């Protein structure tokens, strides 16, 4: 099963990983869910308005690595 999942495109693997993580949650905090929904809507609005610009996963990974490994 893992070998089949690893053959999926990266976006499908990410969606599968998210679904698997969600399946591990026993309880859902409705207040936290509401806050996340608001945060997501806010970030989408920032992208749509052009207030922030997206970067590629490669660039994000490079920046994270530089931050965590002291450039």
| Residue 39 is assigned to a structural domain of this protein | yes
The label of the residue with tokens 């490079």 reads 62
Total tally of structural domains belonging to the chain: 1
| Residue 42 is assigned to a structural domain of this protein | yes
Q: Look up the domain containing 58 and give its range.
A: 28-71
The model's confidence at residue 71, banded by pLDDT at 50, 70 and 90, is low
- And the tokens for 25? 């949650």
The span from the CA of 26 to the CA of 29, in Å, is 10
pLDDT, tens only, 8-66:
999 999 999 999 988 887 787 889 989 999 999 999 999 999 999 999 999 999 999 99
CB 16 within 8 A of CB 5: yes
């Amino acid at each position: 099963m893992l070998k089949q999942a690893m053959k999926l495109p990266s976006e499908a693997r990410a969606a599968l990983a998210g679904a698997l993580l969600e399946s591990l949650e026993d309880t859902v905090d409705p207040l936290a869910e509401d806050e996340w929904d608001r945060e997501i809507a806010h970030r989408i609005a920032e992208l749509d308005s052009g207030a922030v610009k997206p970067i590629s996963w490669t660039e994000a990974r490079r920046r994270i690595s530089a931050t965590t490994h002291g450039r």
